[in-house]
């Protein structure tokens, strides 16, 4: 029977879909807007994202994934079903075969939730792949050689750090400090410093437009609009780029500390390979200005940002779908299940 093989980067902030033979066909925010009275879905994806913080009382815009895992099973199923239909249409001729990216530190219960949500959408078969593994493949690293490669994937909900060799993870860590925590740190800083309340979208814009984490890497200022917490009225304050470095210091320090910890647990031979190749940064968080310079300074090894960090995970998933290594791994998994 004709089958559709689909790779999905089920991210906290965005969902990306790769169809075998067609490449990346969808990149939309992981947001669903629901009418609380009728319980009907109002919008999914980009249209729903535009409603965040701007909906009337009866409509709520939900992000069903938090910190890399499913927070709302039913809404995740609705969102996945919508994106799969948008990708391959409503045909029932072939139930799709899915490969879904998950954080490295995901529990068996969380894995089961992802599988069940995908199967409820009509998937014929569901495979899971760890995000740092997919990110490394998408960044162009040959992880199937007997040589160490290190990737730090900073997504929306989780940062996955892994050393890979011979096609698998040797040592890794997954912490729930990533893009969302950076936004929260900016919101918190501006609230404390200026008594100004801003939303997640404004914080994200600041992070992309003027934020830096390395001294003197970026200059400039931006006017930020929000609600004065003393008067309750709209207010505008100018924010300097260097203030963002102070705001982001704590979450960025956590990411660097976790990276150091993984390096310390890495076997010496693989550590030597990483010293030669350097660390590869992927995910949206890799685009934070000055992060590569700061990590290079702290780790004392080369640090490089992937060519297309936002799409490394989904690109790697697509490449793995078509890889002979994937078929070999599937046979091994099947044999292991039969043995149990």
- Residues 51, 266: Cα–Cα separation, whole Å: 45
User: For residue range 284-314, what is the model confidence (pLDDT) as tens digits?
Assistant: 999 999 999 999 999 999 999 999 999 999 9
Mean pLDDT, all residues of the chain? 88
- Whether the predicted pLDDT of 338 surpasses 60: no
- Whether the predicted pLDDT of 1 surpasses 50: no
Read off φ and ψ for residue 4, nearest 5 degrees.
-110, 125
- Whether the predicted pLDDT of 91 surpasses 70: no
- The pLDDT, as a whole number, for residue 66 is 86
201: which 2 tokens? 């979208």
pLDDT-derived band at 163, boundaries 50, 70, 90: very high
- The pLDDT, as a whole number, for residue 125 is 87
User: For residue range 229-275, what is the model confidence (pLDDT) as tens digits?
Assistant: 999 999 999 999 999 999 999 999 999 999 999 999 999 999 999 99
Q: Are 16 and 314 in contact (CB under 8 A)?
A: yes
- Based on C-alpha coordinates, what's the Rg of the chain? 21
- The pLDDT, as a whole number, for residue 2 is 40
- Whether the predicted pLDDT of 223 surpasses 60: yes
- What is the average pLDDT across 41-63? 83
- Whether the predicted pLDDT of 173 surpasses 90: yes
pLDDT-derived band at 328, boundaries 50, 70, 90: low
- Whether the predicted pLDDT of 319 surpasses 70: yes
- Whether the predicted pLDDT of 205 surpasses 50: yes
Share of the chain above pLDDT 70, in %: 92
- The pLDDT, as a whole number, for residue 105 is 77
- Residues 70, 89: Cα–Cα separation, whole Å: 25
- The pLDDT, as a whole number, for residue 96 is 84
- The pLDDT, as a whole number, for residue 337 is 43
- What is the average pLDDT across 47-57? 78
- The pLDDT, as a whole number, for residue 303 is 97
- Whether the predicted pLDDT of 67 surpasses 90: no
- Residues 298, 23: Cα–Cα separation, whole Å: 37
Domains of the chain: 5-133+314-339 (3.30.420.40), 143-177+252-309 (3.30.420.40), 179-249 (3.90.640.10)
- The pLDDT, as a whole number, for residue 52 is 74
175: which 2 tokens? 């912490």
- Residues 20, 36: Cα–Cα separation, whole Å: 37
| Closest residue by Cα to residue 323 from 147, 144, 162 | 144
- Residues 121, 315: Cα–Cα separation, whole Å: 22
């Amino acid at each position: 029977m004709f089958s559709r093989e689909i790779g999905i980067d089920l991210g906290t902030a965005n969902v990306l879909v790769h169809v075998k033979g067609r490449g990346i066909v969808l990149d939309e925010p992981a947001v669903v807007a629901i009418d609380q009275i009728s319980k009907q879905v109002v919008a999914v994806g980009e249209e729903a994202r535009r409603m965040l913080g701007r909906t009337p009382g009866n409509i709520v815009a939900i992000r069903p994934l938090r910190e890399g895992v499913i927070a709302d099973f039913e809404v995740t199923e609705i969102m996945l079903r919508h994106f799969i239909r948008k990708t391959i249409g409503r045909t029932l001729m072939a139930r799709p075969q899915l490969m879904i990216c998950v954080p490295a530190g995901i529990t068996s219960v969380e894995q089961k939730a992802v599988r069940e949500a995908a199967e409820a959408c009509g998937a014929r078969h569901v495979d899971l792949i760890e995000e740092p593994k997919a990110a490394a493949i998408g960044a162009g690293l040959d992880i199937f050689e007997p040589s160490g490669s290190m990737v730090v994937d900073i997504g929306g909900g989780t940062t996955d750090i892994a050393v890979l060799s011979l096609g698998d993870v040797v040592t890794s860590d997954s912490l729930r400090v990533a893009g969302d925590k950076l936004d929260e740190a900016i919101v918190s800083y501006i609230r404390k410093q200026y008594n100004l309340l801003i939303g997640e979208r404004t914080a994200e814009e600041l992070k992309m437009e003027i934020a830096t984490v390395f001294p003197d890497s970026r200059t400039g200022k931006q006017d930020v609009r929000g609600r004065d917490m003393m008067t309750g009225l709209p207010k505008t304050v100018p924010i300097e780029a260097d203030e963002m470095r102070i705001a982001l210091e704590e979450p960025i320090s956590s990411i660097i500390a976790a990276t150091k910890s993984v390096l310390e647990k890495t076997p010496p031979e693989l550590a030597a390979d990483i010293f030669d190749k350097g660390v590869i940064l992927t995910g949206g968080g890799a685009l934070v200005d000055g992060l590569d310079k700061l990590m290079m300074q702290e780790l004392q090894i080369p640090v490089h940002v992937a060519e297309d960090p936002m799409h490394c995970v989904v690109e790697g998933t697509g490449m793995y779908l078509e890889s002979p290594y994937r078929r070999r791994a599937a046979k091994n998994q099947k044999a292991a299940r039969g043995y149990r």
